[in-house]
Amino acid sequence: MKELMKTINILEKFLGRELGNDVQIMLLGILSLVIIVLIGWLIFSIFHIKSIEKILHHKLNNKEYKDVIDLAHEFIEKKKKKKKHETLMVLYYLACAYENTEHYTNAIKFYEEVLLQHPKKDKFYRNLLIKMARIYEKQNKTKEAMAHYIMALDSDEYNIEALYGIGKLHFFSGNTKRSLDYFEKILLKKPNLLDARKFYGKALLDTGFYQVALSQFEFIIKYFPDDPEVYYLKAKTEENLKKYNEAIKTYKILVKKDFNEEKMLEKTTPLNIFDIKEEVKLTIVRLLIKLKKYDEGLTYISDFLSMPGKDETKLELLYLYGNILWNKGEEFQALKNFERIYMMKPDFKDVALFYDRYKKILPHTYLSNYFTTSEESNFESICKKILGKQIFNLIYKSGDFYVFTKGPFAVIFYRHIEPIPFSKLTDMEVIINTQSIPISNVEIYSISGVREDAYNHFLLKKSHLIEANEFIKTIRELF
């Protein structure tokens, strides 16, 4: 107010007379208004850029992308005098909005304009390059993505995001060994970056460094036990190390544990949880077969068949069930199982071959008493029933065949449905030739006879082969 009065006194001196009260009040009002306008203009000039940034930033955070795009274009088109920083930030938010609406071509265009106006190689510059690289990745433009990640590395040798991006690009492009260098560099700086460690472990697994890969997956599971893919990779690594029992334990956890796919680390394979679990069910059974843990395998097959799953998985489980029965010596039951699969899907694997080869014997259910290892149907007692009242000595028994002798006469009972191979005839011959009394006459019971390559075997020259209908008739008379 004092300043205003001084101004009025100066005017009075200039005019050479005193001004009336009314005039003084009017002048005071005019001067006050001018000062208010000037202050307002100054405040507007100071905070104008910030208000635009705040508006665009707020709308971007609220996912109001269309508003951001409309406001930014309106500003660019209507604002004649634009400050460099002001334009830079408007273009940046415009590019971000296009990126979030998956208009990637426009996003790249405006990010490039921002780069042109921001040549300084600082954190903001690197952030722009990485954003552009990720967009190129989404467009499957690997070369362009790689180039932008490399430019970011040129500015910052240990930029984690750029190292991670390049490592992933090499990994997914099949350059697995090259990806190792980038993931190792990341883990030297950030050992707890689990996404990078997961890719690193997968790259080690793919390049055959199984023991080191296993330590990576064990580390991840210790600190992040919610990713099914890591359990899968760990078990696969254990398989490669021939730690089959450990692999089975890991696979079991994977099947039984409930996982939230949204909580997974970044995927290194395109499998989803359901697909992984379906594959794992089959893998567990196959490993148990490899370890000859047949009874445990049968138990798991029964459990898995009772779970929800794909029809293809259930067919495969039934097929493995048949294989286990065959390996256990329950060959007739195995054939009945293959017949069941054949009726459901005739072209499934080799079931048609099995069915066609053995379909003539399938109606003869009493054969299950011979082709079995069941304690209720003791194989030795069946053999003795066939031999009748004559007293024979059991001189050899195995899972493949039993040998009985009486003086110069020998009877061999082959325990398998398939034809006898040449090698097994040789084994039989060796056993017979070790007897103190020379064997001159041999009977061989084999439902499918011998293989073609064994027709000229020396043992057959002094043997009578009981096969096909003669074999079936002999067993039928027992039951």
Span 318-353, pLDDT tens digits: 999 999 999 999 999 999 999 999 999 999 999 999
Give me the residues paired with residue 420 across strands: 450
pLDDT of the residue at 332 = 96
CATH number of the domain located at residue range(s) 372-478 in this protein:
3.40.1350
Domain residue ranges in the chain: 2-44, 372-478
Collapsing DSSP to helix, strand or coil, 266 comes out as coil
14 pLDDT band, cuts 50/70/90, is very low
Other C-beta atoms within 10 Å of 80: how many? 5
* Closest C-alpha to 382, from 396, 399, 370: 370
CA–CA separation, 121 and 99 (whole Å): 22
Q: What is this structure's pTM?
A: 0.79
Q: Enter the tokens of residue 444.
A: 């061989």
Provide the percentage of residues in the chain whose pLDDT is more than 70: 89
Residue at 61: amino acid letter: N
- Going from the C-alpha of 412 to that of each of 295, 440, 454, the distances in angstroms are 29, 13, 16
pLDDT of the residue at 47 = 43
Residue 439 DSSP code: P
* Closest C-alpha to 449, from 422, 473, 431, 475: 422
**Long-range CB contact pairs, 428-436, < 8 A, 24+:** 428/401, 428/403, 428/459, 429/457, 429/458, 429/459, 431/395, 431/396, 431/403, 432/403, 432/405, 432/459, 435/395, 435/405, 435/410
Cross-sheet strand order for the sheet of 409-414: 393-397, 401-406, 409-414, 441-445, 463-466
Q: Residues 87-114: what's their mean pLDDT?
A: 94
